[in-house]
Amino acid sequence: MTTTNLQRPVRAPGRSQGIEDNPAIPVRVIKGVVLVLCCVVVIVPFIGVISTSIASQAHVTNSGGFVLWPDGINLDSYRTIFNGGVVLRALGVSFVITIGGTLISLVGSTMLAYALSRPGSFGQRPMLMIVLFSLLFSPGLIPNYLVVKQFGLLDSLLALILPTAISGFNVIILRAFFMGIPDSVVDSARIDGAGDFRIFWSIVLPLSRAVLAVIGLFYAVGYWNAFFSAMLYISDTAKWPLQLVLRTYVVNNTELSSGDLGGAGADQLPPQESIQMAILVVSLVPILIVYPFLQRHFAKGMLTGAVKG
């Protein structure tokens, strides 16, 4: 039979009331108000973006271009952008880059990190130094461009993946996680006749699902949000990812023509602001959908990787 100690822990003498203690009601109220305010500050712009994207022409006009709460639901903007044209094409490109890039990055990073986590691997020290060096010094815009050009990657989607495929920061986190896997587990596998790849694939990776989920999300968000490299390396507008379209038409406020939107009749085009906000929503949704599924791995994946070195 188990017993539960219901006694409150004794606070160390001289120690101030910490967040683990039960604070007084006024403090709780203040904390609550502050947290609610923080939430409002974060949520209101989202509501505004969604509201504007589904508001009617008249409401957008009367509200000065930004609707906080719509008077009805009008999905014309979404119908327009999913009618074909630049947004739908860019969405496809973004999915290809994000999925392909994340796979390449995870494969490369995990293999590198595993090699760096095993003492005695060939070239371990110099390779680790190179990874650490990349954390401190970045190559800069123009050298990066020259390298991409020299590899013949200009105007290729690979230019959006390969230069950022391995992140030194993520490799260090992965390495720290892999170092936490007991040597005895690896040694047992080796005694059973497993080679390095077998150990990596069948032992290490299954034990590292949490950190893989977190690092995968980091990479995916990075690829999904990247617009600058596309702006530099991609001349063919058919290969533009969604974020560059977003930047061109929302941030730089370039006018969208009906042809850009898959041939919606010019007279039936929803207001420009609604279309811009609909593009914004479309660019947010995939990451918002993926995030909750990976959230449970976050604490474990990040902390394990972060506190060991």
Partner 1 sequence: MISRRTLLGGSLAAVATAGGLSGCATVTRSTDIAALNRPVALPTYKRFDGPKPDLPRSHPLMPDCFYRFPDRPVRTTDGSPGDGSDISGTAPTSNPIPPTADRNPYWQELNRRLGSPLALTISSAADYPNKFATSVAGDTLGDLFNVDSAFAYLPQFLEARAQDLTEYLSGDAILDYPFLANLSTESWRGCVYSGGIRAVPIQRGVMSTDLLLARQDILDKLGVELGSPDLDELVKVARTVTDEKKKRWAFAVPPRWALSAMLGLPRDWEVRDGRLVHSWELPEHKEMLVITQQMASDGLIHPDGVAKHNQKVWFSQGSAVMTQDTYSSIQSFYRRSVVKEFAITIPVVRNAAGKTGRVLLGKPNNSIAAIKPSSPERTKMLLGVLNWMAAPFGTEEYLFRKFGQAGRHYTLNGTDPVLTEAGQSEVCLGEFPIQYLADGGYPVYFPGHPEAVDMAYAHLEAVLPTAVLPSTYGLYSPTESTKGKVFTSRMDALTKDIQLGRAKPAAWDEAVADWRKSGGDAIRHEYEEAMSAQGRK
Q: Please give the residues from 149 up to 168 whose contact with partner 1 meets the rule CB under 8 A.
A: 149-152, 154
Q: Does 271 bind partner 1 (CB under 8 A)?
A: yes
Binding mask 215-244 for partner 1 (x = CB under 8 A): -------------x--xx--xxxx-x----
Listed as own residue / partner, the contacts of 279-283 with beta carbons closer than 8 Å and 24 or more positions apart are: 279/81, 279/87, 279/242, 279/245, 279/246, 279/249, 279/250, 280/49, 280/53, 280/246, 280/250, 281/49, 281/50, 281/53, 282/78, 282/81, 282/87, 282/91, 282/242, 283/94, 283/224, 283/242, 283/243, 283/246
- Nearer Cβ to partner 1 (225/272): 272
Contact 249, 279 (CB under 8 A): yes
Element (H, E) at 226: none
Q: Does 247 bind partner 1 (CB under 8 A)?
A: yes
CB atoms within 10 A of CB 137: 7
Distance between CA 63 and CA 53 in Å, rounded? 13
Q: Please give the residues from 18 up to 57 whose contact with partner 1 meets the rule CB under 8 A.
A: 57
Q: Does 17 bind partner 1 (CB under 8 A)?
A: no
Give the range of 7-15, 34-42, 168-176, 248-256 binding partner 1 by CB under 8 A: 248-256
Range 56-91 burial, b when 16+ CB lie within 10 A, else e: beebbeebeeebeebeeebebbbebbbeebbbebbb
- Nearer Cβ to partner 1 (121/258): 258
Binding mask 55-84 for partner 1 (x = CB under 8 A): --x--xxxxxx-------------------
Cα–chain center distance at 27: 35
Q: Does 251 bind partner 1 (CB under 8 A)?
A: yes
Q: Does 137 bind partner 1 (CB under 8 A)?
A: no
Give min distance, CB of 282 to partner 1, in A: 18
Q: Does 95 bind partner 1 (CB under 8 A)?
A: no
Q: Does 268 bind partner 1 (CB under 8 A)?
A: no
Binding mask 190-209 for partner 1 (x = CB under 8 A): --------------------
Instruction: Please report, as ranges, the residues that interact with partner 1 according to CB under 8 A.
Output: 57, 60-65, 86, 139, 141-147, 149-152, 154, 228, 231-232, 235-238, 240, 247-248, 251-260, 263, 265-266, 271-273
